[in-house]
Amino acid sequence: MKGFYNTIQTALNSSSNGDVVYVLSNIALIDNISVPQNITLKIGPYHTLSFAADKEIDVNGTLQTFSNSTFTKSGASLWSGIDIKSGGTLQLSGDTTIEYATTGVYINGNSSTPIDNGSYPSGNKLTIQNCTTGLSIYKCTPSLHNIYFDIITDDAIEVDYTTSDPTINRITINDGEYGIDIHDGADATLTESIIEEMDEDNIYLASFAGIDMNGGHNDIDRTSGKYAIDNTNPNAVYINVNNNYWDGETNVNVLFSAPDYVTCTSFDPSANNKGAYKTAAPANHTHSLLVARRYEKEGLFELALDVYKNIVFFSDNCYEKRKAFKRMVHIHDTQGYDFDDIVSLMQDELDSANGWYRAYLDCALCDIMVKECKYTDAICELEQRSRQYENSSIEVMMLTEIANIYGTRLGNTAKAKEYADRAAAINPGQSILIVAYDAAGEKYDPSQYEDIFRNAAVNFDIKPEPDDEEPEEQLSAGVAITPNPANPSTTISYSIPDPSHVKLVIYSVSGQKIATLVDGHMPAGKHAVVFDGSPYASGVYFYKFTSENFEKSGKMVLVK
């Protein structure tokens, strides 16, 4: 693209697919900037863009910076920050600074490379400083590294929406309120990072939020009287934080507000200084999530998927299963795989899932519809499924996502406003409402209101309607295989105390489904089904039995 323009936005609006717009001087901006898809806006080295109060950059294409590029405010009031949409990228070709913004960088639905600052573990440094919130992540699973946070008024990193699961590597958080604030049902992985000098706790986990730091070799320096991880909430999950350095502290009662929900038996003996401590005791290599994470890091995606599938099939830990699903969706999304297998597995899990795990599955299935551009279907499903979570943070999330779809995908800001208002009527203090109103083209400040669901006890269990008549004989749920080994057939007997939808599936050792023996509603009582192993090779197989309120998996050997 050739020519000179009076404003950046005029140049961007005049561009065609593949064009590049160059900024070769310092510019003070009084309006928003929107970078369209397939257009690149390049900020020259040592140049500064300064913004008037509440103005922002929306990135749908590529925003590229060079050495010592700076984004800052032009007056006394904060500007809004950089909003990276689902198809956008902030590409750093040199160290870059973002400062004096309400939210330094906001990532909305972008799971691939929203911030491209070079190959891990090195790369160009992004500094986010003197902001209210440093980095906000909504409904996505990006990989982020080499970011430095300094003097942040509230959260350095905020993770919102139950399908979110960022991988955060080699970041430094210095001076803020909370280092990482993970909202209801969201997850994160943290490795080789430093968090220090927080006003409050280094990491805060809301209801059923999780963080994977197993073998992470992070340096977490808590403030005296505060916790390294605040996981005291009515819906805590078990987290693994082995092999990190806690500034020499090894008393789990000092480090964690709910130590009973934390696995922390191995400690790095000294600071890692933003890199894996070379002589630390080895992390537990048998831990499936850690193994899969390393496969992902090495680009061995098929192996990682196999491990994640096995976690879904055989783990009895709903947090691990949720984490595995999130990573599977991320791999399929970034590698261009279709989602059919994952959708089938999620629907199978919904038959027996309850609580926050079920809420995640409901949100994730709708999220996949959005990824597949089935926007109308996603809206209908979100509307219907949200009724199961009436007057809860999950209902607010689902209504917010409907608003987000209407505003950002379908261009209907009036409908976006309708659903944003519905969500705000439930809990006006929930921070995710910023997304809903942004989709409607409006600003919203949830800090003016109380977040009534923060630290609130919730129960999302969906119980069957009570039966009018009790069964004559009360049975215990159970499964038995006779004979085992099978040669080549065997009988699988099972009992259920109440009428229930029953599913009995056989899997190979690699996790491939080879037979569905039962899939339907069954009366209370004792039942049996024959598995004929004649078509299959000798070896180890696994069964998974699911009914209401009961689930069991086990091993079966086939010999011929």
pLDDT digits (tens, 9 = 90+) for 286-321: 478 888 988 998 999 999 999 999 999 988 888 889
For residue 180, what pLDDT is reported?
96
**pTM: predicted TM-score of the whole model, two decimal places:** 0.78
Q: What SS3 state is found at 532?
A: strand
pLDDT at 422 over 60: yes
3-7, 140-144, 158-162, 419-423 — which is least confidently predicted? 3-7
Q: State the average pLDDT over residues 319-348.
A: 94
C-alpha to C-alpha distance for 174 and 437, rounded to whole angstroms = 31
Domain ranges (residues) in the chain: 20-282, 285-337, 478-558
Question: Is residue 102 within 8 Å of 77, Cβ to Cβ?
Answer: no
C-alpha to C-alpha distance for 328 and 339, rounded to whole angstroms = 9
For residue 490, what pLDDT is reported?
85
pLDDT at 404 over 60: yes
For residue 505, what pLDDT is reported?
93
Helices (H), 280-317: 288-297, 301-314
Within 8 A by CB and 6+ apart from 520, the residues are 501, 502
Q: Which runs of E-coded beta strand occur in 412-549?
A: 478-482, 489-496, 500-508, 513-522, 525-532, 539-547
Q: Please write down the long-range contacts of 303-312, taking CB distance under 8 Å and 24 or more positions apart.
A: 304/331, 305/331, 306/510, 306/511, 309/345, 309/511, 310/511, 312/345, 312/349
For residue 276, what pLDDT is reported?
54
Q: State the average pLDDT over residues 211-231.
A: 92
Question: Is residue 28 within 8 Å of 74, Cβ to Cβ?
Answer: yes
Residue 499 structure tokens: 């009428």
Q: Which fold has domain 478-558?
A: Immunoglobulin-like (2.60.40)
For residue 25, what pLDDT is reported?
92
Average pLDDT for the chain = 88
- Pairing outcome for strands 56-59 and 147-152: unpaired
